[in-house]
Amino acid sequence: MKKILLLSVLSLMSASLYGQDETTDYELKSNEKFGFIVDKSGKKTEGIVRMVGDARNPWDNQKKVKFVAVSDIDKSKKKQKFKTMDSDDLKEYVAYDENNNERHFEVIKYTNVKEGLNTATSGLSGNIKAFNNLTKTNQFAEVVTDGKIKIYRLYGFPTSFAAGDNQIKEAERETERMRNNPSYIYTKKGSKLKEFNLKEAKIITADCPVIKSKVAGGEYASMKNDTKKRTGLGKFIKNQVDDVMSDVPQIIDEVILDYNENCK
């Protein structure tokens, strides 16, 4: 009974967090750029695609998006009305952010277990964070690079509740960590999604002579070749340290982009 009650409380608190919505009124810009959505049937529709997340709340872009089709824009009106759509409605969307950068999101089936089980706060606060992450399976994820190896950026969902000064401070620190440290997940030729790290980068690029040659020659700052012979525990510890200390975005920029361009 207690378990059912706790799940009900978590559901309500999570729903109240996700249910918050900004106004759907929108004033057209003089230099408006059109993005597009792709619905579940595969139909592509151009229009104004408005991201709901920002630099402080990037995870909100994984939950929903606002859209008005070109055919529904009424230029005689000062403001336009948007529809709010989520991963149940769409397969993907492309939008332009506040800096006019193109951003591409696709619906993926992935549960962020790492963030669900990793919490700095205890009690109800930690349970809500776990609930927010472990119950979210279908969500939008941003495409970082596309090709034979496709990589997505995925943020964890922070807790929506904290009580007491200490817990609030812990929750704020954890939210800041999550804001600045998203996960990266990949698929190679449509394989099952896995977390991307240095170890995986070495495995999935090993079939390309161009990459192997550059790694051996020390051409990638993010994947320096370790020439020291190691065995057993020493090798294991070195690999673990390398994974933790590696610069994943740099590996993507240097190695994966090179792989997708040269290893068809």
The rounded average pLDDT for each run of 10 residues, N- to C-terminus, in the chain (264 residues) is 42 42 64 94 97 96 96 86 95 94 97 86 81 91 98 93 80 91 96 96 96 93 63 46 67 97 90
Which residue bears the tokens 């929108």?
A: 26
Other Cβ atoms closer than 10 A to 248: 23
Domain range list for the chain: 1-196, 201-264
Q: What is the pLDDT of residue 5?
A: 37
pTM (two decimals): 0.83
Cβ-contact 170, 158 below 8 angstroms: no
**In degrees, to the nearest 5, what angle opens at C-alpha 48 toward C-alphas 44 and 53?**
105
Q: What is the pLDDT of residue 25?
A: 65
Q: Which sign, positive or negative, has the C-alpha torsion 102, 87, 115, 199?
A: negative
Report the alpha-carbon distance of residue 97 to residue 48 in Å, rounded.
11
CA atoms within 13 A on the CB side of 228: 7
Q: What is the pLDDT of residue 194?
A: 97
Q: What is the pLDDT of residue 168?
A: 84
